[in-house]
Amino acid sequence: MSHNQSPLIIVAAMLAGAVVGASAGVLFAPSKGRKTRKKVYREAEAITKKLVNFVNAEAKLMQVKLNGLITAANEIDEEMQQENNSMKI
């Protein structure tokens, strides 16, 4: 596994694999078509909710980190402007 892969990509791939596996298991199970479609739909819906929750949590974490970077950049900019102004005097 590469160190460049984000956790989001890894989790998305795992969830996609779970969807494919669950769908294949349900489709090959001896059930009526309507019942099978309901099972597939419920499994897909549950996995979709998990994925949405994970993505939302990751987005919030990324926003917090981004805000920290913006704050740090603004502080550096202010320091540089003060340094520049003190050199003009």
pLDDT in 10s for each residue of the chain, 89 residues: 445 567 777 777 787 788 777 777 766 766 677 787 788 788 888 888 888 888 888 889 899 999 999 999 999 999 999 988 888 76
Residues 50/51/52/54 CA torsion (nearest 10 deg): 90
Note the pTM of the prediction, 2 decimals.
Answer: 0.52
44 neighbors 27 (Cβ within 8 angstroms): no
